[in-house]
C-alpha cells in the first residue's frame, strides 16, 4: 500500500506501462471479437489491469490504457474499465501512485468514456488516436484552461505559475493534481501526464499484454 | 381446451390485445390460434413466446396453430420462432427441425438471453449483418453499427441484471410503406422476470411512499436512471439508450407490470405513459428506429 501523495512525486523514476485492453479482454472472455460488453466482463478486465499495476505499486508511474483495438465498448464496461479504475486510484488508500492516460478511438469509444466520467464527476486525459491529448469529463473552465496550458507547455516551474496561469494558477494546478490530471513534483513544478508518459517512453519499458 | 385467438396483426401496437385475452384460466391445455396471423414483428413474436411461457408456468399446456404456407410463416422461420417456441409449445411446431433461412432483413433471430456470454454472442453476431442494413436500408452513418450493438448489449444486460430470469431478444428491419413511408428496424426484448416495480422496490419504494407502483417504478428507472444497486455507475444503460434512440428519432417504450412508459418521436402516437394495462410479469422493451431522412 502506498501512502497518498495527491500527485506529488516521491520517486524520481517513472515506471511506465502500456496496457492493451483488447489483449486482456481476449484472455478474459471467450469472444471471437475484441468487444468489451457486459459489466462482469468489464469487472474482470479491470481486475486484470489492476493486477498488472500491482507490480509497480510503490513508485510513481504512468499507465497508458490502450482501448484502440477494442471494437465495441458499452457503458457498463466503460464504467468498470475507465471510471472504477480511476476511482480506485483517487482513493486515499490507492494501491499505488499511478496516473492514467487513455487511448481510444474517438468515434467508437469517446462517447461511452465521456458519459461514464460525467456520471461519476471524473475527468481523464485521453488520446483519440491522433496523438493529441484531451481532457474528457467534467471540469471547470479554470481547470480546463490550466490543463490546456500545462499540456501545451508540458512542464511549468513554480516561479512561472502566475505568468502562465494567472494569480490562481497554483491553486488550480493543485486541484488538477488532486484529481490526478496533472503531476506535481516534490519541488512544486507541474507536469502534464502526457509529458510524464513521454518520460515513460524514454525509459523504454515494454508494452504489457 | 381454452382457445386464445391471436390478432391478425401482432406487433408493438397490438400485443395488448393478446395479453388481454390471457385473462382466462390457463392451467389446462391452451391453444394460441394464430391461423389468421398476417403480420407480426419481433415484439409480437416475443409476446407469443411470453404468453406461452406464462401458460406453462401456470401448469398449463400451451399449443399454437400457425398459418400454413403464408408470408408470415416465412418471417417466423427466418426469425427462428419455431426453434425458440419448441421449448414452450407442445407439441413443437412442425417447422422446428428445419434449417432457418437467413434473410437479409433479419438483424437478429430470436435469441435466448440467460448469461453474459449470450450478450457477447448477440453483439458478435449482429455486427456481421447489421452494418449493411443500418447503412444501406436505414441510411445511418457507418459507425451506427457500434451504437446499435451497444444498445443491444445494454437491453440484454437489463434482462440478466434486473429481471433475474431468462428472456429473449430479436431484431428485424421492415418497410413501413403504409405507416411511415420508410424502412424501420425493430428491436424487441422481453423477459418474465420480476419486473421494474419489484426490482426497485427494496431500494426505492420508501422514498415514493403511497405513490409507489408500476408507473412510478418505470419513471424512476426510465426518467431518473435509478436501479436497485446503490452504485452511482449503474442505471446508465436505459439513459444512454434513450439518448441514442432520440438521436435517431426512434421510439423507445418499456412495458412492465400494468404500465408502459415511452419516449415517442413526432411520427408516433404512442403516449408517454399508459397505466391500468393487463398485468405482464417481467418487462418488454420495444425500440423502433426509422430510416434517416435526407438532410
SS3 per-residue string spanning B13-77: CCHHHHHHCCCCCCCCEEEEECCCCCEECHHHHHHHHHHHHHHHHCCCEEEEECCCCCHHHHHHH
Helices assigned H by DSSP within A66-137: 75-78, 85-90, 111-120
pLDDT-derived band at B95, boundaries 50, 70, 90 = low
User: pTM, whole model, 2 decimals?
Assistant: 0.86
CB pairs under 8 A between A and B: 75
CB A173 within 8 A of CB A150: yes
Query: What pLDDT score does A30 carry?
Result: 57
Q: Give the least confident one: A31-35, A123-127, B7-11, B25-29.
A: A31-35
pLDDT-derived band at B32, boundaries 50, 70, 90 = very high
Closest CA of chain A from B236, distance in Å: 7
Query: What pLDDT score does A170 carry?
Result: 93
Which domains does chain A carry?
12-138 (no CATH), 139-209 (1.10.10)
* Residue B123 C-alpha from the chain's centroid: 17
Contact A108 B143 (CB under 8 A): yes
Mutation choice for B interface testing from A45, A72, A129 by most B CBs within 10 A? A72
Query: What are phi and psi for residue B164, nearest 5 degrees?
Result: 55, 40
Query: What pLDDT score does B25 carry?
Result: 77
Contact A71 B127 (CB under 8 A): yes
Query: What pLDDT score does A21 carry?
Result: 94
Residues of A in contact with B116 (CB under 8 A): 38, 40-41
Helices assigned H by DSSP within chain A: 21-28, 39-53, 75-78, 85-90, 111-120, 141-153, 161-165, 169-178, 193-203
Query: What pLDDT score does A56 carry?
Result: 67
Q: Give the least confident one: A199-203, B104-108, B279-283.
A: A199-203
Q: Is A88 on the interface with B (CB under 8 A)?
A: no
CB B78 within 8 A of CB B100: yes
For A144-191, how does the pLDDT look when each residue is reduced to its tens digit (9 = 90+)? 999 999 999 999 999 999 999 999 999 999 999 999 999 999 899 999
Using the predicted structure, report yes or no on whether residue A10 has a pLDDT greater than 70: no
Among the partner-chain residues A31, A73, A108, the one whose CB lies closest to the CB of B120 is: A31
Using the predicted structure, report yes or no on whether residue B27 has a pLDDT greater than 70: yes
Query: What pLDDT score does B268 carry?
Result: 94
Whole-angstrom distance between the N-terminal and C-terminal Cα of chain B?
Answer: 55
Contact B236 A33 (CB under 8 A): no
For B109-127, how does the pLDDT look when each residue is reduced to its tens digit (9 = 90+)? 999 999 989 999 999 888 8
CB B156 within 8 A of CB B93: no
Give the mean pLDDT of chain B: 89
CB A207 within 8 A of CB A69: no
Percent over 90 (pLDDT), chain A? 65
Q: DSSP secondary-structure letter at B151? A: H
**CB neighbour list of residue A208: distance below 8 Å, 6 or more residues apart:** A17, A18, A19, A20, A52
A92-107: average pLDDT: 89
Closest CA of chain B from A110, distance in Å: 12
Nearest CA in chain B to A70: B146
CB A10 within 8 A of CB A186: yes
* Residue B205 C-alpha from the chain's centroid: 26
Contact A38 B237 (CB under 8 A): no
Query: What pLDDT score does B131 carry?
Result: 84
Nearest CA in chain B to A74: B150
Using the predicted structure, report yes or no on whether residue A202 has a pLDDT greater than 50: no
pLDDT-derived band at B104, boundaries 50, 70, 90 = low
CB B70 within 8 A of CB B100: no
Among the partner-chain residues A33, A73, A112, the one whose CB lies closest to the CB of B124 is: A33
Query: What pLDDT score does A200 carry?
Result: 64
Percent over 70 (pLDDT), chain B? 95
Write down the residue that cell numbers 438483424 correspond to.
B107
Query: What pLDDT score does A110 carry?
Result: 87
pLDDT-derived band at B28, boundaries 50, 70, 90 = confident
For B252-271, how does the pLDDT look when each residue is reduced to its tens digit (9 = 90+)? 999 999 999 999 999 999 99
B215-244: average pLDDT: 88
A94-117: average pLDDT: 90
Contact A39 B161 (CB under 8 A): yes
Using the predicted structure, report yes or no on whether residue A118 has a pLDDT greater than 50: yes
pLDDT-derived band at A131, boundaries 50, 70, 90 = confident
- Residue A137 backbone zone (phi > 0: left; psi -120 to 50: alpha; other: beta): left
Q: Is B131 on the interface with A (CB under 8 A)?
A: no
pLDDT-derived band at A29, boundaries 50, 70, 90 = low
For B222-232, how does the pLDDT look when each residue is reduced to its tens digit (9 = 90+)? 999 888 887 87
Mutation choice for A interface testing from B113, B114, B115, B116 by most A CBs within 10 A? B116
Mutation choice for B interface testing from A32, A39, A43, A113 by most B CBs within 10 A? A39
Query: What pLDDT score does B89 carry?
Result: 93
Using the predicted structure, report yes or no on whether residue A102 has a pLDDT greater than 90: yes
For A52-63, how does the pLDDT look when each residue is reduced to its tens digit (9 = 90+)? 988 765 678 899
Mutation choice for A interface testing from B120, B169, B243 by most A CBs within 10 A? B120
Using the predicted structure, report yes or no on whether residue A31 has a pLDDT greater than 80: no
Using the predicted structure, report yes or no on whether residue B169 has a pLDDT greater than 60: yes
Q: DSSP secondary-structure letter at B205? A: H
pLDDT-derived band at A32, boundaries 50, 70, 90 = low
Query: What pLDDT score does B164 carry?
Result: 81
A120-136: average pLDDT: 92
Q: How many other β-carbons are positioned within 10 Å of the β-carbon of residue A186?
A: 11
Whole-angstrom distance between the N-terminal and C-terminal Cα of chain A?
Answer: 24
Using the predicted structure, report yes or no on whether residue A141 has a pLDDT greater than 80: yes
For B46-92, how does the pLDDT look when each residue is reduced to its tens digit (9 = 90+)? 999 999 999 999 899 999 999 987 788 888 988 999 999 998 998 75
B151-176: average pLDDT: 89
Query: What pLDDT score does B232 carry?
Result: 78
A89-107: average pLDDT: 90
B197-226: average pLDDT: 92
Residues of A in contact with B154 (CB under 8 A): 74-76
Q: Give the least confident one: B19-23, B78-82, B191-195.
A: B19-23
Using the predicted structure, report yes or no on whether residue B152 has a pLDDT greater than 80: yes
Q: Residue A134 in 3-state DSSP?
A: strand
Q: Is A89 on the interface with B (CB under 8 A)?
A: no
Amino acid at each position: 500500500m502506498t501512502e497518498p501523495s495527491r500527485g506529488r512525486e516521491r520517486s524520481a523514476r517513472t515506471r511506465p506501462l502500456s496496457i492493451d485492453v483488447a489483449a486482456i479482454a481476449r484472455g478474459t472472455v471467450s469472444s471471437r471479437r475484441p468487444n468489451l460488453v457486459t459489466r462482469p466482463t468489464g469487472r474482470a478486465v479491470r481486475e486484470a489491469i489492476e493486477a498488472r499495476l500491482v507490480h509497480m505499486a510503490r513508485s510513481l508511474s504512468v499507465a497508458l490504457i490502450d482501448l484502440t483495438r477494442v471494437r465495441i465498448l458499452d457503458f457498463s464496461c466503460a464504467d468498470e474499465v475507465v471510471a472504477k479504475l480511476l476511482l480506485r486510484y483517487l482513493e486515499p488508500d490507492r494501491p499505488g501512485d499511478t496516473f492514467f492516460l487513455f487511448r481510444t478511438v474517438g468515434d467508437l469509444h469517446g462517447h461511452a468514456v465521456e458519459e461514464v466520467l460525467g456520471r461519476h464527476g471524473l475527468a481523464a486525459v485521453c488520446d483519440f488516436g491522433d496523438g493529441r491529448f484531451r481532457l474528457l469529463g467534467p471540469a471547470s473552465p479554470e481547470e480546463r484552461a490550466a490543463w490546456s496550458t500545462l499540456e501545451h507547455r508540458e512542464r511549468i516551474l513554480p516561479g512561472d505559475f502566475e505568468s502562465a496561469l494567472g494569480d490562481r494558477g497554483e491553486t488550480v494546478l493543485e486541484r488538477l493534481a488532486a484529481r490526478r490530471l496533472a503531476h506535481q513534483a516534490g519541488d512544486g513544478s507541474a507536469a502534464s501526464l502526457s509529458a510524464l508518459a513521454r518520460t515513460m517512453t524514454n525509459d523504454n519499458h515494454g508494452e504489457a499484454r | 381446451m381454452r382457445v386464445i385467438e391471436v390478432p391478425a396483426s401482432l406487433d408493438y401496437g397490438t400485443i395488448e390485445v393478446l395479453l388481454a385475452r390471457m385473462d382466462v384460466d390457463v392451467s389446462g391445455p391452451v391453444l394460441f390460434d394464430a391461423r389468421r396471423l398476417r403480420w407480426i414483428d419481433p415484439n409480437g413474436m416475443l409476446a407469443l413466446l411470453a404468453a406461452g411461457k406464462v401458460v406453462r408456468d401456470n401448469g398449463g399446456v400451451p399449443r399454437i396453430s400457425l398459418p400454413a404456407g403464408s408470408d408470415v410463416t416465412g418471417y417466423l422461420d427466418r426469425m427462428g420462432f419455431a426453434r425458440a417456441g419448441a421449448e414452450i409449445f407442445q407439441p413443437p411446431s412442425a417447422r422446428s427441425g428445419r434449417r432457418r433461412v437467413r434473410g437479409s432483413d433479419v438483424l437478429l433471430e430470436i435469441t435466448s438471453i440467460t448469461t453474459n456470454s449470450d450478450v457477447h454472442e448477440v453483439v458478435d453476431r449482429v455486427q456481421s449483418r447489421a452494418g449493411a442494413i443500418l447503412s444501406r436500408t436505414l441510411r445511418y452513418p457507418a459507425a451506427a453499427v457500434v451504437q446499435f450493438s451497444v444498445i443491444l448489449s445494454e437491453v440484454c444486460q437489463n434482462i440478466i441484471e434486473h429481471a433475474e430470469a431468462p428472456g429473449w431478444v430479436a431484431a428485424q428491419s421492415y418497410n413501413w410503406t403504409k405507416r411511415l413511408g420508410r424502412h424501420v428496424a425493430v428491436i424487441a426484448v422481453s423477459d418474465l422476470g420480476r419486473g421494474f416495480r419489484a426490482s426497485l422496490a427494496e431500494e426505492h419504494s420508501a422514498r415514493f411512499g403511497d405513490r409507489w407502483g408500476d408507473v412510478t417504478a418505470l419513471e424512476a428507472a426510465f426518467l431518473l436512471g435509478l436501479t436497485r444497486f446503490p452504485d452511482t455507475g449503474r442505471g446508465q444503460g436505459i439513459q444512454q439508450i434513450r439518448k441514442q434512440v432520440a438521436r435517431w428519432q426512434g421510439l423507445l417504450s418499456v412495458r412492465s407490470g400494468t404500465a408502459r412508459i415511452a419516449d415517442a418521436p413526432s411520427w408516433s402516437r404512442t403516449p408517454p405513459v399508459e397505466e391500468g394495462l393487463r398485468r405482464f410479469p417481467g418487462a418488454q422493451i420495444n425500440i423502433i428506429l426509422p430510416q434517416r431522412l435526407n438532410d
